[in-house]
Amino acid sequence: MSEGKVLFNEKCSICNYEIKHYKKRSELSFNGCSHMDDKYLKKLHVVFEDGEELIGVDAFIYVWKRTDGYMWLAKFASLPIVYQCAKVAYAFIAFLLFWRFKLALAINNKKGK
């Protein structure tokens, strides 16, 4: 598997804070995606040149495997029962963060008019 680009919503304060931490501890390529389709805003994505994508928990596991000090978390999150629980929890949290971002964007756009 070639190195992928990590797409994250740089306008989400929580996402941005976490990714800044990973940037300091890895050699990964991180790209903001706030200007892209909602698909990319809803969950963390890792995209590869061949079109393959890792999404959500799988994207985090990819990042953790390649970030100093986080291999243990990648291994833990990959355990079958933990993986399934993480997918459910992440789906819920990502849903809340996405709609929080969209609401803030709508409010800011309304103030700008």
pLDDT of residue 35: 82
How many residues are recorded in the chain?
Answer: 113
pLDDT for 113: 56
Give CA–CA dist 46/103, Å, rounded: 25
Sheet holding 45-47, edge to edge: 29-32, 5-8, 45-47, 53-55
Question: Quick one: pLDDT at residue 47?
Answer: 96
What pLDDT, on a 0 to 100 scale, did the predictor assign at position 1? 55
pTM here is: 0.84
Q: What is the pLDDT of residue 41?
A: 77
Tokens representing 1 are: 């598997």
pLDDT at 96: 86
Domains of the chain, residue spans: 5-112
Q: What is the pLDDT along the chain (113 residues), one digit of tens a residue?
A: 579 999 998 877 788 899 999 999 999 999 988 787 777 878 899 999 999 999 999 999 999 999 999 999 999 999 999 999 999 999 999 888 878 777 776 777 777 65
